[in-house]
Amino acid sequence: MAEAERSELEERLGYTFKERDLLRRALSHRSRTPEASNERLEFLGDAVLTFVVTAALFDHSDLDEGEMTKVRVSLVNRASLVEVARSIDVGAAVRLGSGEEQAGGRRKASILADTMEAILGALYLDGGLDEARRVILLHWEPLIADRITSPGEHDYKTRLQEVLARTGRYPEYSVRAGGPEHARVFTASVGDGESELGHGMGTSKKRAEQEAARRALLMVPDDVNA
């Protein structure tokens, strides 16, 4: 992978690595470098992400222990890792073996999530906890803010992410607003990049997306839900 490509990833990530080999290793899938893959960095990155999210929930919410646990589970999982990985286009930078490349590995949820964890682990080693926290919050804070507002509600969007991720898919939402300014109605649709899965309406963008996700879950085949 060219140096310019790594720099583009760093720009989207919001951090520049001092030790270039750490980033290179974080992006190296076992199909490319079995003896020097990113698996150990994944383990570290998972722990760092869990700590930072837990501390953020403790510091910036008044949720009780049970609620914090539920919110943390919805934030530290494959679905959120894939969401962030896609937002910074990790797939374009990951280093794959030829077989995995031909199998569409750059789009696989498992590879994207694992690589994102490895990047966080490498970031912690390169810049320390303060920089790791800054970058994690840069990308996870919107998700945290969304989750802590309704920890007891059904989070259909997260559930749909998790279900689709099992087959390497990812939900894509589109929302439009209508009606007078004082009584806006939002209509959302969600698909997987190939077909529409559900649509919904609500008095806010969030509610419309949740309703679309709820309806989409009814359409997902039973074998995927299993």
**Is there a contact between 190 and 197 (Cβ–Cβ < 8 Å)?**
yes
On whether both 163 and 65 belong to a single domain, the answer is no
On whether both 132 and 21 belong to a single domain, the answer is yes
pLDDT at 114: 93
| Domain of residue 110, residue span | 3-148
What are the C-alpha distances in Å from 127 to residues 4, 22, 94?
21, 11, 21
Report residue 51 CA to chain centroid gap.
17
Examine the pLDDT at 161 and tell me if it is beyond 70.
yes
What are the C-alpha distances in Å from 205 to residues 112, 122, 186, 189?
27, 36, 6, 11
Higher pLDDT, 127 or 80: 127
On whether both 14 and 50 belong to a single domain, the answer is yes
Segment 107-122 shows an average pLDDT of: 93
Known catalytic residue at 42? no
Q: Report the SS3 class of residue 22.
A: helix
Beta bridge partners of 178: 185
Mean pLDDT for the chain overall: 86
Q: Which of 42, 83, 114, 117 is catalytic?
A: 117
- Helix or strand holding residue 189 (H, E): strand 185-191
d(CA 49, CA 180): 42
Segment 91-114 shows an average pLDDT of: 88
pLDDT at 216: 93
On whether both 168 and 135 belong to a single domain, the answer is no
pLDDT at 154: 56
Could you read off the pLDDT of 14-62 as tens digits, one per residue?
999 999 999 999 999 988 887 778 999 999 999 999 999 999 999 988 8
**Is there a contact between 170 and 194 (Cβ–Cβ < 8 Å)?**
no
Higher pLDDT, 219 or 89: 89
Give me the helices (H) in 61-108, please.
Answer: 65-75, 78-87, 98-102
Q: Which of 7-16, 149-158, 161-170 has the lowest mean pLDDT?
A: 149-158
Higher pLDDT, 203 or 6: 203
Any idea what DSSP says for residue 171?
-
On whether both 10 and 102 belong to a single domain, the answer is yes
pLDDT at 194: 82
Give the pTM: 0.70
Q: Report the SS3 class of residue 63.
A: coil
Examine the pLDDT at 3 and tell me if it is beyond 50.
no
Scanning the structure block, which residue is given the tokens 């806006």? 184
- Helix or strand holding residue 54 (H, E): helix 39-60
pLDDT at 150: 62
**Is there a contact between 190 and 173 (Cβ–Cβ < 8 Å)?**
yes
pLDDT at 74: 80
Examine the pLDDT at 73 and tell me if it is beyond 80.
yes
| Pick from 124, 104, 105, 103: nearest CA to 26 | 124
Scanning the structure block, which residue is given the tokens 């959302």? 188
Segment 101-130 shows an average pLDDT of: 93
pLDDT at 4: 42
Phi, psi of 76 (to 5 degrees): -105, 80
On whether both 17 and 70 belong to a single domain, the answer is yes
* Total of domains in the chain: 2
**Residue 189: CATH number of its domain:** 3.30.160.20
Report residue 160 CA to chain centroid gap.
13
Known catalytic residue at 117? yes
